[in-house]
Amino acid sequence: MTTRTGARAQRSSDALGDPQFLADDLSGILDDIASMVVRNVMKFNYTCS
User: What are the tens digits of pLDDT across the range 23-42?
Assistant: 888 889 999 999 999 999 98
pLDDT of residue 7: 53
Q: Report d(CA 30, CA 34) in Å as an integer.
A: 6
**What's the total number of domains in the chain?**
1
pLDDT top residue among 16 and 37: 37
Average pLDDT of the residues of the chain = 74
The DSSP 8-state label assigned to residue 4 in this structure reads H
**Element holding 3 (H helix, E strand):** none
The range of the structural domain enclosing residue 26 comes to 4-48
AA letter at 44: F
Q: Report d(CA 16, CA 10) in Å as an integer.
A: 11
- Asked whether the predicted pLDDT for residue 9 surpasses 60, the reply is no
